Structure 1
Amino acid sequence: MAKTVSALGIKAPNASILADNVVKHLDDPAETVVFLLSPGAEEGMEAVAGKHGYTLEITSAENHTEARMTPTGSTMEEIDVSGDFCPGPVITVGTILATLPVGERLKVTSTSADSIADIAAAVESSGSKVVKQGADGEKHYLIAEKAEKQESSQAVVARDRVLIAQSNGIGNAERAYATFLFAKAAQSMGKEVTVFLLMDGVSMARQGNAAVVKHPAFDRLDHLMDEVIRGGATVYACEMSAKFRGIGQADLVDGVRLAGAATYIQLLSDPANAVVNF
């Protein structure tokens, strides 16, 4: 875990004197330290890092400079998602970031620039940050740093929840899969997910139906649904649509419950919900 020390407002060389004392008295000499500095106060930091056997990385943020001192020889976790396709890389990276302590970093590489760009958007949306992004030969990469999610201070409502409406059912396998693949991707980004099945969409929740949907590139649909539900998603089946098809609560798979029009309209009316339709 990285230790963050604010030295904002302290000019050089006093900022480096402070850094020297902090590093000298660390309880764990293998700990990474990030100093938040006023612009221009990084003078002398390289000497401090070298003195204590640390590698220094200077980055500029919006209103300050960050001096990151990492013990020489320490490594960050790395993962190569080449060959994996959307939303697999986003889910994988989100899952790993969720396990990292705040301040730790993850390097992600791929032969696909589009995949790295998609991952970068997911990382930023989850509240963590991309500290570096680029290409090295045929491989594209980014370095993500786990950060604590900050409460929005803006007047606008932060859309931290995703509502996925599905009205096609198992008759359209692509849309059926997309419903729960997008849900899983949203969960990996730290979003609260609700899936509302209506019209033919309720057929997906009838016991046994999703088990017959299997694409060679994906797991069976019922397994994917179960993962999303166990991941904390709320899944509703439209009561009216279910009645049209002779489906009752007892016919639904575990984790799916009937809900009426008012529930759906309330979800649609909630400004915190980003709505996706399939």
Structure 2
Amino acid sequence: MSKTVDVKEIDQLVKEGALLIDVREEAETLMGYIEGSKNIPLGELAKYLDELPKDEPIYISCQSGKRGETAVQLLMDNGFDAYNVTGGYRAYAEYRQSADDTKEEQANMAQIKPDRELNCSGLQCPGPISQVFQTMNQMKEGEILEVKVTDPGFIADAKAWCANTGNTFIGSERSGKTTVAYMRKGTAGKSEASVQTGGENANKGATLVVFNQDLDKAIASFIIATGAAAMGKKVTMFFTFWGLNILRRDEEISQDGKDFMEKMFTKMMPAGPKHLPISNMNMGGMGAKMIRQVMEKKNVDSLETLMENAMNMGVRIVACAMSMDVMGIRKEELIDGVEIGGVATYLGQAEESNVNLFI
């Protein structure tokens, strides 16, 4: 059983000089992190053991606490005094939201006159922040947006988004299970309430190499892509080998002109998002259907919707020309909006990006 520390204590501990390590992937920290934390992804933590102090406690934060338990166990097994932040960044963000709400009650929210209203109740991440991004693009400088949400992590996301995109988070209030947030386009009269993020890298891009065809990994890829695009980043997704199947049309396409091997590939590979397997418990396709049902029940966007939203937000979708040739996939077999490119296309975008992921 790993030792823990409450989210209410961590700010003071960091202020006093304690070492806090965030073991999430770098892309996850784009939507906010605990100020003063050092980002070392869990998969790389073992490489840094020689650089970490054994004469003082080490505190670990992740998204929900699960990876934190694994990291704490690794550190304890190697002689460190380690503590897991209970509930991870999600619990910390909710605690900070609650604390900020108390402060914000001093301001009269009823006096705020929004220019636009956006109801995102029932939507899960990244739905609300994606809609905020698209709505803000249609607004004028200085106008105020009112957003109604039920996602408990939205306020932390909204503050991080505002800090990275040059907009202003004014405040929020709760009404039952619904939270109402107010944001102003631009920075005039900017509120001090914000979650710190890597603003110095806000204008850099993000690239994702999508090699895998698993449904769950495809969903994660597009959630990260839309989140990064909403943060104002220029995003490129480069699909290669099995990842190309995510982009295939779910309809019969003429195979005239293909040789025997190319036709075999076409028949054996899943055609489009509706036919993708999942990485665990696929059970002949039953697992993929089950996860789709759960996503629909929880109001999480389907992969098809995530893909459409990503393209509408300007995410660049590039299919690897060499992989298409090897696997016998033609351009007309892919969905609309896909570009064809080579490795130089990817590397050119990667050079301009500060987030590069291989999925």
Of 334, 346, 352 in structure 2, the residue corresponding to residue 264 of structure 1 is 346
Match of 2:356 in 1: 275
Return 206-215 or 102-111, whichever deviates more. 206-215
The answer on 1:202 being equivalent to 2:244 is: yes
2: distance between equivalents of 1:211 and 1:199?
15
The CA RMSD measured in Å over matched residues stands at: 3.2
Cα drift, residue 196 of structure 1: 0.7
Of 123, 145, 149 in structure 2, the residue corresponding to residue 84 of structure 1 is 123
Of 308, 328, 334 in structure 2, the residue corresponding to residue 252 of structure 1 is 334
1: distance between equivalents of 2:157 and 2:112?
30
Cα drift, residue 81 of structure 1: 3.2
Of 154, 168, 171 in structure 2, the residue corresponding to residue 129 of structure 1 is 168
| Corresponding residue SS for 1:106 | strand
Higher relative contact order (CA 8 A, sep 6+): 2
Q: Which has the higher helix share?
A: 2
1: distance between equivalents of 2:175 and 2:274?
43
Match of 2:315 in 1: 233
Contact 1:82 1:111 in 2 (8 A): yes
Q: TM-score, normalised by structure 2?
A: 0.47
Return 88-97 or 257-266, whichever deviates more. 257-266
Aligned length in residues: 199
Q: Per-residue CA shift, 1:92-147, capped at 9, x if unaligned?
A: 22222222211111233434442221122123222211122465665544321101
Contact 1:116 1:141 in 2 (8 A): no
2: distance between equivalents of 1:269 and 1:258?
19
Q: Which of the pair has more CA radius of gyration?
A: 1
Q: TM-score, normalised by structure 1?
A: 0.59
| Corresponding residue SS for 1:99 | coil
Match of 2:219 in 1: 177
Contact 1:211 1:220 in 2 (8 A): no
| Corresponding residue SS for 2:206 | strand
The answer on 1:98 being equivalent to 2:122 is: no
Q: Per-residue CA shift, 1:62-87, capped at 9, x if unaligned?
A: xxxxxxxxxx8955544443432111
2: distance between equivalents of 1:219 and 1:136?
25
| Identity %, equivalent residues | 28
Amino acid at match of 1:162: A
Match of 2:211 in 1: 167
Contact 2:247 2:273 in 1 (8 A): no
Q: Which runs of 4+ in 1 moved over 6 A?
A: none
From the superposition, tell whether residues 277 and 122 of structure 1 become closer, same or farther in structure 2 (CA, over 3 Å).
farther
From the superposition, tell whether residues 75 and 245 of structure 1 become closer, same or farther in structure 2 (CA, over 3 Å).
closer
Amino acid at match of 1:86: C
Q: Which has the higher strand share?
A: 1
Amino acid at match of 1:261: V
Match of 1:142 in 2: 181
Structure 2 regions of 5+ residues with no counterpart?
Answer: 1-110, 189-199, 251-270, 276-288
From the superposition, tell whether residues 277 and 148 of structure 1 become closer, same or farther in structure 2 (CA, over 3 Å).
farther
